[in-house]
Amino acid sequence: MNIIDVLDKGYVRLVNHMGSDLTVVNAARVSYAKESKELTEKDIKLIKFLAKEGHTSPFRHAVLQFEVYAPLMICRQWWKYVTGSAHYEGTGDSLEAWNESSRRYITEEPTFYIPSKDQWRGKPENSKQGSGDAVEPELGEKLTRELMEYVEQGVAKYEAALADGVCAEQARLFLPAYGMYVRWYWTASLQSVAHFLNQRLAHDAQVEIQLYAKAVLELTNPLFPNALNEMLES
């Protein structure tokens, strides 16, 4: 399995990867001009030691590439891990890459995330951000209906602007932004992936991005079962 569906129309797809647990081990052992051919218990203990002591550079020699299709509100949260990666724990140059579809160049049919009536959440009682319990079903049904009407109106105006000869990069201004699905490639080191997971699997992360993080975890774990486990916070 290399693709996992998320939300109503989204997904995370594992496109490619480089390395394994053994890659982390051998990146560390090269300091002593040594190399392991097969992963042993001794190697697993080394991975535990590296993670525990914060010797993270060997984890940056393993790389994963994902294709993600998600609402813009998720995309912009995710993007912070690329812009900040060059400064994360003094890692130096970024080991991440990001390429995103652009409505400057394409006019494919817009797709939007529409929560169902039981997916709307109220504001939390003791926090300025995040969400609380589900709203009443009657309110949820009203919100879903109104959002669908709003989206349909925006798409109609977008298509009308295109029909009038307006350029795609300006016509897109009529599209409701935050719920619109966008597609991108994310290539990152195993350390960067673990950093993303540690923050976005947390209980106080936005529910929707938690679902995407769980998909990334499910796709990554079989490839790096020991190294990823040690890099994740309990």
Catalytic residue ranges: 200
Consecutive H or E run containing 5:
strand 3-6
Q: Are 6 and 12 in contact (CB under 8 A)?
A: yes
SS3 202: coil
Distance of CA 59 to the CA centre of its chain: 19
The residues, any chain, with a CB within 8 Å of residue 83's CB and separated by 6 or more, are none
Q: Which residues pair with 188 in a beta bridge?
A: 64, 96
Q: How far is it, in rounded angstroms, from Cα 59 to Cα 96?
A: 13
